[in-house]
Amino acid sequence: MDHKPRQQTPETTDGYCQTQIEVTHGFGLHARPSVTFTRLARSFPCTVEIEVNDSGVWLSGKSIVKIMGARIRTGSILKIRARGLRASEAIAALKALVERDFDEEKKHGRSA
């Protein structure tokens, strides 16, 4: 699978780059997805925040504690927003990671 983020045009509001995506792989399915997500988020110099199912609460996407606490599950609608240096790149990379089901299947060698 392509590891380079696919170029998409994230929405930009209030200086945020923002995107929305449905989670097809439960975050909770394995501890690893949240590790992968936060590690990727932390690799960018911008802020990264997430909101789950229009809760109105934005949590740090770099905090595994916050992400676990957000109780994301399969079918959850995840909004990701970022602001600062390389914000659009971060959004694209994180969205792609969610779309790839956090690279879980590949790691377990169960790819179809």
Which residues of the shown chain bind another protein in the complex (CB under 8 A)?
A: 26-32, 34-35, 38-39, 60, 63-66, 68-69, 71-74
Nearest distance from residue 56's CB to another protein, in Å? 17
> Which is closer to another protein, CB of 73 or CB of 86?
73
DSSP H or E run through 20: strand 16-22
Query: Strands of 16-22's sheet, edge to edge?
Result: 11-13, 16-22, 77-83, 47-52, 59-60
DSSP state of 6: P
Nearest distance from residue 30's CB to another protein, in Å? 7
> Which is closer to another protein, CB of 14 or CB of 109?
109
> Which is closer to another protein, CB of 17 or CB of 25?
25
Kindly state the tokens that stand for 5. Answer: 């983020």
Biggest CA–CA distance in the chain, Å, is 41
> Which is closer to another protein, CB of 35 or CB of 85?
35
Nearest distance from residue 25's CB to another protein, in Å? 10
Nearest distance from residue 59's CB to another protein, in Å? 9
| Partners of 82 in the β-ladder | 17, 48
Instruction: Work out the end-to-end distance of the chain between its first and last CA atoms, rounded to an integer number of angstroms.
Output: 12
